[in-house]
Amino acid sequence: MRFFPDFASASRAVLLLGWVLGASNALRAESEWTVEPATVVAGRTFSVWLKPTAPLGGATARWNGRNAPFYKMSGGRWRALLGTGSLEPAGTRTVTVDGYWARGGPFLEDVPFAVEEGTYPVGRIKLSPDRDALFTTGSVERDSYVLTTLYNQAPSPKRLWNGAFVRPSTGVVSSVFGARRSYGDRPALNPHTGLDLAAPSGTPVTAPQRGVVVFAGRIESFGNTVLLDHGQGVYTYYLHMRALAVRAGDRVKTGRLLGETGAEGIATGPHVHWSLTVQGERVDPQDWVDRFIP
């Protein structure tokens, strides 16, 4: 006697599931997906944009082992930020978007984009015996892990920057991002992970945009160090300074003094090393100076 009601319920469930999946697929197909820029130079940042046709519950862009949440922006669009490593070879890539509609079920979308190979110089750096020992004793490896842990924290959802970044110090560019570096007799395998700005010792180092100080202290291989959280997975950090002017927890505005240039740690002269990371990928900070990345 229970066969017919159960059969009817099962049929309704199948029909409902089919409707939900069909609606989800239709919404996915009608939504607008773009990657900006469409061709990304290796070592730079790109944005994945979604303009949905119905309320979005949430989504995450996944590429190259990095996960970038989508955040709601103006004009009904959603945006996720990702970065490419400077060693990324040229070719076509696909970023996978995993999300769900507020009233339509989950979806999975592959969004294509192109990578253009970066052109970066190769340089050799001679270090004094005491600074070279930072490599042989394992200090550089240990200290790099400390930094990596700091800028791979779960992203804070609020975007603090508004506009293009500004260089954190005056002086000349003594080493560009992505340059292949050889320390001593070691092969030039590892790319430079930031932008070096050489200036007389004691030159002010200032915040390039609004942020929160996550770390301010001395690290053996890198000297006095500051790391800023700019929100939504974007961090910047500053190395080799001789003095600090902020503490962890401070909220800073653009132009706020962070410290002074120095030659602490692995350095051959007074400068500040400036790095910028997006979802844990170190990218060219000059790209953020040359254009506003919302």
2: confidence class by pLDDT, cuts 50, 70, 90: very low
Query: For residues 175 and 167, what is the distance between their CA atoms, to the nearest angstrom?
Result: 14
pLDDT over 90, % of the chain: 71
Q: Where are the domains of the chain?
A: 3-116, 122-290
Neighbouring residues of 65: CB distance < 8 A, sequence distance ≥ 6: none
69: confidence class by pLDDT, cuts 50, 70, 90: very high
pLDDT score, position 23: 43
What does DSSP say about strands 180-183 and 122-125: parallel, antiparallel, or unpaired?
parallel
pLDDT score, position 16: 34
Per-residue pLDDT averaged across 71-89, rounded?
96
pLDDT score, position 146: 92
CATH classification number, 3-116, choose in 2.20.130.20, 1.10.3720.10, 3.20.20.70, 3.40.50.11540: 2.20.130.20
Residue 150 has pLDDT above 60, yes or no: yes
Query: For residues 165 and 291, what is the distance between their CA atoms, to the nearest angstrom?
Result: 8
Strand order, beta sheet including 190-191: 122-125, 180-183, 190-191
Which of 2-11, 158-167, 179-188, 211-220 is predicted with the least confidence, judged by mean pLDDT? 2-11
Per-residue pLDDT averaged across 61-87, rounded?
96
132: confidence class by pLDDT, cuts 50, 70, 90: low
Provide the CB-side half-sphere exposure for 209 (13 A, CA): 23
Which CATH code is given to the segment(s) 122-290? 2.70.70.10
Query: For residues 257 and 247, what is the distance between their CA atoms, to the nearest angstrom?
Result: 11
Neighbouring residues of 103: CB distance < 8 A, sequence distance ≥ 6: 54, 55
Rg (CA), the chain: 23
Residue type, position 243, single letter = A
Query: For residues 239 and 256, what is the distance between their CA atoms, to the nearest angstrom?
Result: 16
Residue type, position 3, single letter = F
Distances (CA, A) of 8 to 13, 20, 21: 9, 18, 20
Query: For residues 84 and 160, what is the distance between their CA atoms, to the nearest angstrom?
Result: 22
**Is the fold of 3-116 the same as that of 122-290?**
no
pLDDT score, position 136: 66
Per-residue pLDDT averaged across 235-254, rounded?
98
My answer on whether omega of the bond before 37 falls inside 30° of 0, hence cis, is yes
CA 168 to chain centre: 18
Phi, psi of 240 (to 5 degrees): 70, 15
The residue with greater pLDDT, 104 or 66, is 66
